[in-house]
Amino acid sequence: MKKSITIILGIIILGLVGFLYYYIALPAVNIHSVGFWWFILVALIAVAILAGLKAYSFKNGKIQGGKSIQRIIFKIIVAVTGAAIVILIIGSILSSSMVNANKYEKLLTITDRNYTDDIKEISYKDIPVLDKDSAVLLGSRKMGSIAEYVSQFEVGPNYTQINYQGNPVRVTPLVYGSTIKWLSNRSKGIPAYMKINMTNQDVELVKLPQGMKYSESEHFGRNIYRYLRFHYPTYVFDTINFEIGDDDIPYWVCPVKKYTIGLFGGQTIGGAVIVNAVNGDINYYDMKDIPTWVDKVYSADLLISLYDYYGKLKHGYWNSVFGQKDSLQTTEGYNYIAMEDDVWVYTGVTSVGSDESNVGFVLMNQRTAETRYYSISGAEEYSAMASAEGQVQNLGYTATFPLLLNIGGEPTYFIALKDAAGLVKMYALVNIAKYQIVATGDTVNACEKTYVELMKSSGISVADTSKLPKVTGSIAKISDCVVDGNTHYYILLNNSDKIFDVRVNDYINIVKFDIGDTITLTYSEGTDTNAVLGIE
C-alpha cells in the first residue's frame, strides 16, 4: 500500500513539475524545436531517476536490484533517454551548414539591381533623422510629462519601426509599472501606445477607446506568449513585433518559423499569427496572405544571417573557413529604409577578409524577404561614421549608423550626429565612393547644399537645382528669426500656402526684398518649412 501511494505521489509531483515547466518555458510541441527536445529530455531524466530508485536500492555498501520488471522499465527509460540525446546530437549535425552548405546558400534569392532605379531622391520630409536610441529617449521624456499615466505605466522597449501612412515611425506600447500596478489596472488594460515620427521627431501618445488586454507585461493567460502557445501549441515563433494597422488599432505580429533543412536547420518564416492587442482576436496567415499593412515579419537579424549564408557558402563550407575565395558578408550594423510601402533592411556587403570597404550593399524586405543587391564599392559604414565624427570632433558628437540616400544621383550616407545626452544636433552626408567628401550642417537642408557644392568642386557631376521645384510670386509676409546662431528669413507668397526658409548666410541678397516684391524661389520640400536653394 505504501509503495503504491509513493508511486502515485511521485507521478503527481512529476506531472505538476512538468506542467509548471511547460507553463513557464512554453516550449512548442514540435520536433523542430530544440526547446521541445530539452523538455522531453528533462522529463525522461526525471522519470529515469524515479524508476532507478524503485529498481535499485543501496544497502550495506552495495547496490541491490529490485524486481526484474522494475529493472526492465528502468533500462527502457534509460535507452529512450539515450536515443533522444543521440537524435538531438545527430539532428543538429545533419541540420548544420557544414553538411548542407549548398542548401543554406540557396535559402535567400538575390536579384542584382541598379541603384538609381530603386533609390529615388526623396524629400527631406521623408528622411528619418532619428535612430532607435533617440526614439527611446524621446518616448521616455514624453511619458514623463503625462501625469495621468506616469505613476502606473512605463514605456515598453519594443519601438518597432514601421511605414505608417507613408511615414517612417516607431511604435511601442505602454507596460504596467509593476505587478501591483498590473493588479490595479488589468481590468481596463493598457490604455495607450507611443508613436514617434522618425522624420520630424513628433512624439504622440495614442490613447485607445479600450485598453490592450494582451501584451508582454500581462500575466497568466493574457500574457501574449502564453496566449499564443495555448492557441498554437505546435508553432515555433520568432521574435514578435508590436505594430499598428492603418486604422490605428494595435496588433502583435508573430512570425512562425519554418525549418527547411534537416531537423533544426534552414530557418525561414512560413507565415505569421496576428493578434489584436485589444480584444485578442487571433488569426494565422500564410506568407502570401499576410496583410500589406504588416511591415515586420522577417527580423533584421534573420535576413542578415540568410544573406551571410549566401555570401559565404558559394564554394562550400570549408572554403568559408579556410580559403574564403569569393566569400562575402554583411557589415556590422544595419538601418531601415521605407520604400514601396514596406520597410527594408539596409546593410553593406564586404569581403570576409574585411578591408574597411564595401563591395556593395543589400536591401531586404522585412515582409516578403525580397533581397536586392547593388554593386557599389566604397566606404564601409563605420569608416564613414568616423569621417563624420572627425568633422565635429571639437563638439564631441557621435554618429548614428548611416542611412542610404540618393543625392544628385550619387550613393550617399546620411548620418545624424548626437550629443552626449543622445539628442540629434547636426547632420552629415558622406559620399560612399569618395568618403573624404563629408558635409555637415545644423539642418538637413544646409547639409545637403554644402554636400552638393563639395561634390561639384571635386569634379562629381550632380543634378543641379534647376530640376528642383520653383515658385514665383509676390511676398505676402517676410519675417526673420535666429536659429542656432544663424539668421533665417521665413517667406510667405501670395500664391502659395508653403513657408519658405532662407538662410541669410547662404543668400545675403534676401535682405533687399520686402513685402510686395516679386521673387522666384528654387526649393526642396521639408517637414515644416521648405528649404530655399536658389533665389532669382
The structural domains of the chain, with segments of one domain joined by +, span 2-94, 128-297, 381-463, 466-535
pLDDT digits (tens, 9 = 90+) for 277-293: 999 999 999 999 999 99
- In angstroms, the CA 191 to CA 172 distance is 12
Query: For 119-171, what is the HEC assignment?
Result: CCCCCHHHCCCCCHHHHHHHHHHHHHCCHHHHCCEEECCCCEEEEECCEEEEE
- In angstroms, the CA 365 to CA 370 distance is 5
Query: What's the rounded mean pLDDT across residues 112-125?
Result: 76
* pLDDT value for 529: 77
DSSP H helical ranges for 368-443: 381-391
* 59 or 425, which is more confident: 425
Phi, psi of 407 (to 5 degrees): -115, 110
Among candidates 462, 531, 525, 527, which has minimal Cα distance to 502?
531
Among candidates 126, 117, 213, 119, which has minimal Cα distance to 164?
126
Query: What's the rounded mean pLDDT across residues 133-137?
Result: 89
* Band of pLDDT at residue 465, cut at 50, 70 and 90: very low
CB 366, CB 301: distance < 8 Å: no
Query: What's the rounded mean pLDDT across residues 347-369?
Result: 87
511 DSSP β-pair partners = none
- In angstroms, the CA 87 to CA 85 distance is 5
Phi, psi of 221 (to 5 degrees): -70, -20
pLDDT of 14 higher than 80? no
* pLDDT value for 216: 94
Lowest mean pLDDT among 254-268, 424-438, 457-471, 499-513: 457-471
- In angstroms, the CA 205 to CA 190 distance is 12
* 174 or 354, which is more confident: 174
SS3 (DSSP) at 281: coil
Query: What's the rounded mean pLDDT across residues 444-450?
Result: 84
pLDDT of 201 higher than 60? yes
- In angstroms, the CA 201 to CA 311 distance is 37
* Band of pLDDT at residue 183, cut at 50, 70 and 90: very high
SS3 (DSSP) at 206: strand
- In angstroms, the CA 168 to CA 157 distance is 18
CB 264, CB 252: distance < 8 Å: no
Question: Which CATH number does 466-535 carry?
Answer: 2.40.50.140
* pLDDT value for 467: 58
SS3 (DSSP) at 285: strand
Q: What type of residue sits at position 402?
A: P
Cell of 419: 550629443
- In angstroms, the CA 523 to CA 502 distance is 9
Distant-in-sequence, close-in-space partners of 139: CB < 8 Å, separation ≥ 6: 155, 159, 172, 194, 196, 203
pLDDT digits (tens, 9 = 90+) for 467-503: 568 889 999 999 988 876 678 889 999 988 889 888 7
* pLDDT value for 466: 46
Give the count of beta carbons closer than 10 Å to the beta carbon of residue 53: 15
* 363 or 62, which is more confident: 363
Distances (CA, A) of 28 to 228, 263, 470: 10, 14, 60
pLDDT digits (tens, 9 = 90+) for 149-173: 888 999 999 999 999 888 899 999 9
* pLDDT value for 410: 85
Mean of all residue pLDDT scores within the chain: 87
Cell 548611416, located at residue: 402
Alpha carbon 416 to chain centroid distance?
Answer: 18
Q: What type of residue sits at position 528?
A: D
Among candidates 321, 308, 141, 166, which has minimal Cα distance to 246?
166
* pLDDT value for 44: 86
Cell of 65: 536490484
Query: What's the rounded mean pLDDT across residues 385-409?
Result: 89
Q: What type of residue sits at position 406?
A: N
SS3 (DSSP) at 436: coil
Question: What interhelical angle do 34-55 and 68-94 show, nearest 10?
Answer: 160
| Beta strands per DSSP E along 378-423 | 378-379, 398-399, 403-407, 410-418
* pLDDT value for 463: 58
What pTM value is reported for the model?
0.81
Query: What's the rounded mean pLDDT across residues 419-427?
Result: 88
Query: What's the rounded mean pLDDT across residues 50-71?
Result: 66
Give the count of beta carbons closer than 10 Å to the beta carbon of residue 177: 17
Q: What type of residue sits at position 317?
A: Y
* 61 or 255, which is more confident: 255
- In angstroms, the CA 211 to CA 193 distance is 10
* Band of pLDDT at residue 20, cut at 50, 70 and 90: confident
* pLDDT value for 4: 64
- In angstroms, the CA 398 to CA 429 distance is 14
Give the count of beta carbons closer than 10 Å to the beta carbon of residue 137: 17
Distances (CA, A) of 230 to 16, 83, 220: 18, 29, 11
Please give the DSSP secondary-structure letter assigned to residue 331.
P
Q: What type of residue sits at position 523?
A: Y
Find which of 58-67, 297-306, 440-449 is predicted with most confidence, using mean pLDDT: 297-306
* pLDDT value for 367: 94
